[in-house]
Amino acid sequence: MRILITAGPTREYLDDVRYLSNASSGLMGYALAEAVLVAGHEVILVSGPVALTPPDRCEFHAVETTEQMRNACVTRFAVCDGVIAVAAVCDYKPRNRIAGKIAKTGEGISIEMIETDDVLAELGRQKGTRWVVGFALEAENARANALQKLRAKNCDLVVLNAPSVIGSVATSVELIDFTGCTLSSLSGSKQDVARAVLDWIEANVSRSG
């Protein structure tokens, strides 16, 4: 198989210096990329800014903004068998990016925000016979929100995790299908969980896609 994997955060700039982002380390996405390569598959890794070295033998594309990630993924999904969307993309961006640097004035400022491109939803709309696995990082009503994400974005499987795993070397996840059933609960290092997630995909999703 050739698998598209997204990893890391994205950035949305307020001005030429400051940006909105999140604390995603990219560890889970990069661990999955390595697991996929070790299993003998091909990887196209699209990554936001992280302090990690891409695995050898993968096709690597570095991006920064959500729009850049969307464009890189849409272009390359056409030649893939499936996608594992791990990246923690920004959901909002400023309507207008300010040129230069916003100066302090002693007063408050208001910045109008708009939604960014929904990368996973677009891949879900385009999937055809391919399979789509999404990650859902949820703090409240976790399982209900993860299931809503799976259905809204046309995923075959959603991997639910919690904000506490951001930046951690370990993780705990649930694999949830379209019926809302928890198919598997996995805990351990991100490398171990990545291998287990891939095992499940190989045995189930990739055969039914």
141: its two tokens = 């009503």
Domains and CATH numbers, the chain: 2-99+111-208 (3.40.50.10300)
More confident residue, 140 or 88: 88
| CA nearest neighbour of 61 among 82, 44, 85 | 44
Residue 22 annotated as catalytic? yes
State pLDDT tens for residues 120-173: 999 999 999 999 999 998 878 888 889 999 999 999 999 999 888 888 899 999
Catalytic residue among 22, 71, 145, 204: 22
Q: What distance in Å separates the CA atoms of residue 184 and residue 176, rounded to the nearest whole number?
A: 8
Q: What distance in Å separates the CA atoms of residue 66 and residue 52, rounded to the nearest whole number?
A: 19
State pLDDT tens for residues 34-64: 999 999 999 999 999 999 999 999 999 999 9
> Is-contact 171 161, C-beta < 8 A?
yes
Instruction: Compute the average pLDDT of residues 73-87.
Output: 96
> Is-contact 209 130, C-beta < 8 A?
yes
Average pLDDT over all residues of the chain = 93
What number of other Cβ atoms are within 10 A of residue 148's Cβ?
Answer: 15
